[in-house]
Structure 1
Amino acid sequence: MTWKTAHRSFYYHNAPEPEDPVLIHAETALLCIDVQNYGMELHEDPSERVRWAPFHERMRVTVIPRLQALQQRFRENGLDVLHARIACQLEDGRDRSLSQKMPGWNNLLMPKDSPGSQIIPELAPAPGEIVVTKTTDSALTGTNLRLLLSNMGIRTLIVTGIYTDQCVSSTVRSLADESFQVILLEDCCAAGTDALHEQELAIINMIYCHVMSSEELVGLMGLA
């Protein structure tokens, strides 16, 4: 099974296979979302550490090394690598959107200079790469990313990062609504559980984006 038939929801079960996307190098950028220290910290509570163990294993074994390799391929081929991170400008977080203030797990208070808000060293921006700071789930609606992409002539975004069912999905939908071509790399993303990850891939595939693997993307783009 290839990207053309995988990750299909009820709505697209019998849909014809899509054509290969046209991926013009000068108009294509890699967007890495929220792979920050806070997401990779181990829980102090032993039961929570066990509960999140599959996520951390997926990140260390699959997502981080494959995204790291893809970043390098983009850089070597002169393509843009962009980064987005959750961080508030004010220490008390009053500038956060409602989605970042709701009680519970998503209530993230991460001032922009705090250790938890920094992108992990393995995927850190190279000198000169753009980093947008957001106080919303979507990297598009919460920053000036839309303007930057327009100025740069970018029409296709290769989306990666965490969490598949939250900030990644919100960004994908926002980009699609703005008529960007979006490709989501399933092996460069993760959710809290594999079930949530797979469910969200099916929900957004073929309407808001094309879901494929990093290997399939490299082949389509001819990245040496």
Structure 2
Amino acid sequence: MSDWKKAFRSFYYETAEDPDDIVLEPKRTALLVIDIQNTYLEPDEDPAEAARWQPFYDRMNNTVIPNNAKLLDWARAEGIEVIFARIACQTQDGRDRSLSQKKPGFNYLLLPKDREDSQLVPQLSPQGDEIVVTKTTDSALTGTNLRLMLHNIGITDVIVSGIFTDQCVSSTVRSLADESFGVVVVHDACAAATMALHEKELEIINMIYCHVVGMDDLPDFLAKG
């Protein structure tokens, strides 16, 4: 287990008191897995660029995807609502995308909803009637009816995992916090392009918008009885 109460502290919280213990009621908790899609596991055609991204691919294949598979198994066994978010536009030319996904550069994303590269990776497939929301925004709340569904289901706390820590994960976490959900981010089930970006963003959002914890911490948070 990690000492989550003292880890990932920014300047703002270096001298703050330790947070209270986290208590999650399974029936009022959801696991939200963000944007682990085929497109992000496809090496760039440029060998130099593919090499630059190799540490990310390694973290995804060796840590993030296996840990999310374990998270899903755990959540399902505990009766926690499982929800997936993915980036996917409704139109072939992407005219319905938000501006951030139309700008040139890394964030340019054209992922029509039925195309293979927009699908969730096979290792993390939804089961039964598990909810999948599609978005053309960074935040999974801003561009979908996820907020309404969480309220309808009676969810008060959301466990967040996925990619990218410093983009869609962070944006979603901030939106959830602004809507007064309790948020827990699982650091060893998330990734950014680099570990430096990943760890810095966790430090930025921790204790303000969420609590950053490890996978091994989660079982101890479940309400007893």
TM-score by length of 2: 0.97
Cα RMSD of the aligned pairs, angstroms, is 1.2
Q: CA deviation at 1:218?
A: 2.1
The answer for the alignment partner of 2:23 in structure 1 is 22
- The more displaced of 76-85 and 196-205 is 76-85
Partner of 1:146: 147
Partners in 2 of 1:113 and 1:69 — Cα distance? 27
Deviations 1:152-201 (A, max 9, x none): 00010000000000000000000000000000000000000000000000
TM-score by length of 1: 0.97
Give the corresponding residue for 1:59: 60
SS in 2 for 1:55: helix
1:119 paired to 2:152:
no
1:207 maps to a residue whose letter is I
Distance 1:14 1:102 in 2: 40
Whether 2:81 is the aligned partner of 1:80: answer yes
1:10 aligns with 2:48: no
Distance 1:28 1:160 in 2: 14
Aligned equivalent of 2:196 = 195
Paired residue for 1:157?
Answer: 158
Counting only pairs closer than 5 Å after superposition, residues 43-58 of structure 1 correspond to structure 2 as: 43-58=44-59
Deviates more, 1:14-23 or 1:139-148: 14-23
Partner of 2:181: 180
**Structure 2 letter corresponding to 1:33:** I
Unaligned runs of 5+ in 2: none
Q: How much does 1:25 deviate?
A: 1.0
Aligned equivalents of 2:81 and 2:128: distance in 1?
Answer: 12
The C-alpha deviation readout for 1:31-52, integer Å capped at 9, x for no partner, is 0000000011111111111111
Flag structure 1 segments of 5+ consecutive residues without an equivalent. none
The alpha-carbon deviation at position 222 of structure 1 amounts to 7.1
Q: State yes or no: 1:71 paired with 2:72.
A: yes
Q: What is the CA-CA distance between 1:22 and the residue it aligns to? A: 2.1
Instruction: Give the whole-Å Cα distance in 2 for the aligned partners of 1:21 and 1:204.
Output: 17
Separation (CA, whole Å) in 2 of partners of 1:178 and 1:220: 22
Cα distance in 2, alignment partners of residues 102 and 156 from structure 1:
33
Query: 4+ runs of 1 displaced by more than 6 Å?
Result: none
Residue type of the partner of 2:59? R
Partner of 1:216: 217
Are the aligned partners of 2:162 and 2:190 in contact in 1 as well (CA < 8 Å)? yes
Partner SS, residue 144 of structure 2: coil
Distance 1:29 1:122 in 2: 19
Q: For residues 67 and 140 of structure 2, what CA distance do their matches in structure 1 show?
A: 22
Q: Deviations over 1:39-81 (max 9, x none)?
A: 1111111111111111111111111111101100111222211
Structure 1 residue 221: Cα displacement = 2.0
The sequence identity of aligned pairs, in percent, is 61
Amino acid at match of 2:16: A
- The answer on 1:206 being equivalent to 2:207 is yes
Taking structure 1 as reference, are residues 56 and 222 closer, same or farther at Cα in structure 2, changes over 3 Å only?
A: farther
SS at structure 2 position matched to 1:84: strand
Tell me the distance in 2 between the aligned counterparts of 1:24 and 1:17. 21
Corresponding residue SS for 1:52: helix
- The residue number in structure 1 matching 2:96 is 95
